[in-house]
Structure 1
Amino acid sequence: MGQVSSAGGLWLPAVLTAATILLWATARLPEYLTALLFFAAAMVLRVAPAEAVFSGFQSSAFWLVLSGFVLGTAIRRVGLADRIGRLLAAHLSGSWPRLVGGVVLLTYALALVMPSNMGRITLLMPIVLALADQAGLSEGSGGRRALALAVGFGTFQLSASILPANVPNLVMAGAAESALGVHFAYLPYLLLHGPVLGLLKGAVLAACLCALFPARPRPAPPAPAPAPLSPAERRLGVLLLGTLALWATDTLHGVPPAWVGLVAACLCLLPRVGFLTGEEFAAGVNFRTCLYLAAILGLAALVTRSGLGDVLGRAILATLPLDPARPARDFGALVGLTVLFNFVVTANGVPALLTPLARALADASGLPLVTVLMVQVIGYATPLLPYQAAPIVVAMGMGKVPGRDGATLCLAVAAVTFLVLVPLDYLWFRLLGWLG
């Protein structure tokens, strides 16, 4: 089969893409049902080959999420999450801004040493939910949902400022190197994006969470002397430390984080040496979220494979108001272009689609090529809806956060980003000499 069905042309993938995105955005149907309908319609209508439609199940992200649910369930099952939660509660509880800010800061600090978004969510979510329990934030409460959202949004959005800590960053860097011969270094990238997209955006995220989900965490009671670690806690602790070490050194040993996580998950499920029964595995793994993630990745692959992404890119490029005499407007237009593409191919697909267009965009805008490449980071790090960023979806699934809450926070953070942080980013780019 070619890129698209000869009978359907481009209109079939366009209609299917628009309908799927609309259903996810409006939550008219459960997200897993929309995912299943997408798979069924894509195959019945033959809009793309099966290997593209179901590519999400072959993606390392899917398996890292699945293993993450297993590890998170094990952390809760043996009591490690409660133990760590009590330690954090002693320092963070009692003040809602301090609690939210501490969780957001924790997501950013961990991104400096651990390259996998999904892996960080796997480690942090059970700990943060245990922290919520210690702070008296009960199941279903706004405060508990806010802390879960802090994990998802902080893990994805802030890590965009650290080159190896975010999948879209790696896609962009790889595409820039292979297609354009442009190489990025760790420290210059961090200097460019860390102050605004990392620190200031973290403050914006914490402020939005506090404003949208007010809560009154109870002060942590005086912590008794910690009980000795149980044998299961010791064994799981060793497994987690080994997994974290392998995740943090994946560039040295060459084993992707997904397969490290999958091995760790298998060890958790083994009889006698593991920590979970079959029933606990079935209860702990959110297969609805796994289906949703697979569909998001499959949709992005369909848009690329069908040629719809290329057509959209050329059409938008022809109408984009770029003028070398107006660099500030060009800067904003490029951010807007990235945000628009985020609706269609989601964050992981945006750099794969936009990076090949960077030279043409640079010629039309008069901005340096490397600057055009860097501007897209601002856009794909600022989703307008949760489905555009798979780590946010996963965190919402693990934290049992309704889609409406995730969408509300997306829009709130995006509004402040576009009104305040993008102009500050433009001034920072200019101060560092990235605007030519």
Structure 2
Amino acid sequence: MGKKKPIIGLIVGLLIGIGLYFTSFPGLSNAGHLCLSFSLMTVAFWAFGVAQPGYISALYLILLSVFKVAPGTTIFSTWTGPMMYLIIGAYLIAAAVNDSGLGERIAYWYIDKYVTDFRSIIISIFVLTFILALLIPHPWPRAFLIMSVMAVVIKSADIPHEDAVKIGFTVFTASIPVSMIFLTGDASINPLAAASCAPITVGWMTWLKVMGVPMILTSILTMVMIMFMFKPSRQVTVNKLKIAEKRKSLGAMTGIEKRTALWVVVAIILWMTDSIHGVNIGWVTLFIAVMMALPGIGGVLTPKSWSSVPVQTLLFLTAAVAIGRVGGAAGMNAWIAQTVLPSTIPSNMFILGAFITAIAIIIHMFFGSVIAVMGIVIPAMLAFTQPLGINPIIPVMIIFTAVNCHFVLPFHNLAILVGMGEENGMYTEKETMKFGIPYTAVLFILTCAFELPWWKLVGLW
């Protein structure tokens, strides 16, 4: 399809939108009808890559506003609360840790201490991703930082290209489950899942209580699968002298690194104690970013640092959240739950968990976008499971796990997509499919063996 894909997607999306608009749906309000037409057209545009997602998101927001599908406070609700400012602050903190050199220093220290062979390289990727998840609240800069360090390891140990590809794939794959351990592990989508649990408030410690243990187990399982499926072609010995030289070349910690470390530690403390001080972590994160920019006590962030905050991503998140919230206000979500989903709800938690996981994976398989699928599936499933009276965190986190961990092709997960290519993680669609297909089946194990029993144990179910 290639170059024609955007044009085909534009036509398909318009046909979907127009076709739905002129189709009668009994029981669906006019606002819900418009929301359904605009939302599915937008998701089709995203799936086909008609244009950069930021532009498509802007179009969706314009349509909702011009046709008065919902009040502006509902359409742009992400900007009237702390979630968007958490994301902005997280991007700025990530830029500070990267630009200061603090993250690189930590990575080389760990490798010099604990890495000796191929197996320990794979383990080190997961451990470093975990450590840096507390310091850098976004998976992409984290992954590229770790990849830059691994490039030195690969070269110094004279690791063949076929094995270097396996290391690169591990770097970007590890970022998926590990980023879900902490609420700030992926500040672009974790807060979206947390916000979807309303009226339940999910703070930093609540997230860790709900997702920490299941995602640590998931990360370990992912690591074991990678070591089993991507064995090295020959024995690897890491050249510690080269790593030591690289550490020495970094010199002593600079003042900027020390100030960055100080403010990151303060941020972690404030994130972990949000239930005590009562300040939303969105305001905490933005406050820390501001402190990093002030003279004397900061001086880490500069006017150029704002370029690390992607406006297109903020628009994308605004539109994705709007699908769920406008759909709820307009009655679209309840209508979908009543019309499309089964009339009977499985009461057994394992059957229900497997059912929600299957629905989420099937829809994500076709649409690809994690945020877009969350925007459609989460509101519908919340309406579907409401009669059971279960905590809304349960269906939300099952869907989030299924959609965010699922990938067969690179476009299914941006963390995999950004790492693909010789100049990045060196892997191709071949490695992605080899791991992604069996990993899809594992998602049912994650839900039924890790998440649901844990949630039962901590009293969520």
Alignment equivalent of 2:99, drawn from 67, 77, 84: 77
Contact 1:121–1:155 (CA under 8 A) maintained in structure 2 = no
Deviation of the 1:236 alpha carbon? 1.6
| Number of corresponding residues | 393
Deviation of the 1:89 alpha carbon? 3.3
Specify whether residues 195 and 53 from structure 1 end up closer, same or farther in structure 2 by C-alpha distance, changes over 3 A only: closer
Structure 2 unaligned blocks of 5 or more: 1-27, 156-163, 408-412
Q: Residues 253-272 of structure 1 correspond to what in structure 2 (within 5 A)?
A: 253-271=277-295
- Compute the RMSD of aligned alpha carbons: 5.0
SS at match of 1:119: coil
Q: What letter matches 1:128 in structure 2?
A: I
- 2:273 corresponding residue in structure 1: 249
Comparing 244-253 and 268-277, the one that deviates more: 268-277
Specify whether residues 85 and 327 from structure 1 end up closer, same or farther in structure 2 by C-alpha distance, changes over 3 A only: closer
Comparing 121-130 and 238-247, the one that deviates more: 121-130
Specify whether residues 276 and 100 from structure 1 end up closer, same or farther in structure 2 by C-alpha distance, changes over 3 A only: same
Q: What letter matches 2:98 in structure 1?
A: R
Deviation of the 1:61 alpha carbon? 2.8
User: What is the distance in 2 between the residues matched to 1:373 and 1:142?
Assistant: 37
- 1:312 corresponding residue in structure 2: 336
- 2:255 corresponding residue in structure 1: 231
User: What is the distance in 1 between the residues matched to 2:82 and 2:455?
Assistant: 37
Structure 1 unaligned blocks of 5 or more: 1-5, 178-183, 363-368, 387-391
- 2:161 corresponding residue in structure 1: none
- 2:39 corresponding residue in structure 1: 17
- 2:398 corresponding residue in structure 1: 378
Contact 1:247–1:260 (CA under 8 A) maintained in structure 2 = yes
Q: Residues 16-35 of structure 1 correspond to what in structure 2 (within 5 A)?
A: 16-35=38-57
User: What is the distance in 2 between the residues matched to 1:236 and 1:185?
Assistant: 25
Contact 1:13–1:306 (CA under 8 A) maintained in structure 2 = yes
| Residue 276 (str. 1) matches residue 301 (str. 2) | yes
User: What is the TM-score with the length of structure 1 in the denominator?
Assistant: 0.68
User: What is the distance in 1 between the residues matched to 2:380 and 2:101?
Assistant: 44
- 1:365 corresponding residue in structure 2: none
Deviation of the 1:132 alpha carbon? 4.2
- 1:360 corresponding residue in structure 2: 387
Specify whether residues 432 and 237 from structure 1 end up closer, same or farther in structure 2 by C-alpha distance, changes over 3 A only: closer
User: What is the distance in 2 between the residues matched to 1:243 and 1:330?
Assistant: 38
Deviation of the 1:301 alpha carbon? 1.9
Contact 1:42–1:53 (CA under 8 A) maintained in structure 2 = yes
Specify whether residues 47 and 136 from structure 1 end up closer, same or farther in structure 2 by C-alpha distance, changes over 3 A only: farther
Deviation of the 1:312 alpha carbon? 0.8
User: What is the distance in 2 between the residues matched to 1:407 and 1:25?
Assistant: 18
Contact 1:42–1:48 (CA under 8 A) maintained in structure 2 = yes
SS at match of 2:68: coil
User: What is the distance in 2 between the residues matched to 1:408 and 1:383?
Assistant: 21
Deviation of the 1:87 alpha carbon? 1.5
1:119-163 alpha-carbon deviations (Å, 9 max, x no partner): 3649945753553454469xxx97797466346412445569x9x
SS at match of 1:228: coil
Specify whether residues 282 and 25 from structure 1 end up closer, same or farther in structure 2 by C-alpha distance, changes over 3 A only: same
Contact 2:74–2:322 (CA under 8 A) maintained in structure 1 = yes
User: What is the TM-score with the length of structure 2 in the denominator?
Assistant: 0.65
Comparing 311-320 and 69-78, the one that deviates more: 311-320
Q: What letter matches 1:69 in structure 2?
A: Y
